[in-house]
Structure 1
Amino acid sequence: MAVITKDTTSARSFKHLSLIERSMIFALLREGYSLRHIARQLGRHVSTISREVGRGTTTQRRSDWTNYEAYFPETGQSVYEKNRAH
């Protein structure tokens, strides 16, 4: 007797961003590239890059006490590791 399954969904294969990829995002952002361009360069979906930039962006203070926001790969990696621990 043959078993017929109606499972049409494929198995998901998630791959987390590495610190090297986060460093590449940092470098490409500093060069002024768009999120879409960065996603193409890394072979990732643009939403993955967007979420990572949001995760790794922190507010910094200049010496003249003005604030600015910047992406840091170490911050993104730290937040990722903290979220994985929970």
Structure 2
Amino acid sequence: MTFDAVTLLGLLAAMLTTAANVPQVWKAWRTKETRDISLAMTLILAGGLGLWVSYGVLQGDAVIIIANAAGMLLALSLAALKLRHG
């Protein structure tokens, strides 16, 4: 993978969109309060991110694979917390 301007732009976008999920997961983990989190939305998001990972694999694009795999893991973590704590 070459780190040209386009790749760096993609990496920055990937970092920001993935990091956006971290505060929600952290709050749910810390407070065990998940009542206001939609399980359906979280699972749909995880499914969509999983499809993006598949697309990234087919395209051979590491940025798409890594960013969406990380986001999917965060979404699945949030779904697990929702299932555990209601």
TM-score with structure 2 setting the length: 0.31
Return the structure number with greater helix share. 2
Task: Please identify which structure carries the higher strand content.
Answer: 1
TM-score relative to the length of structure 1: 0.31
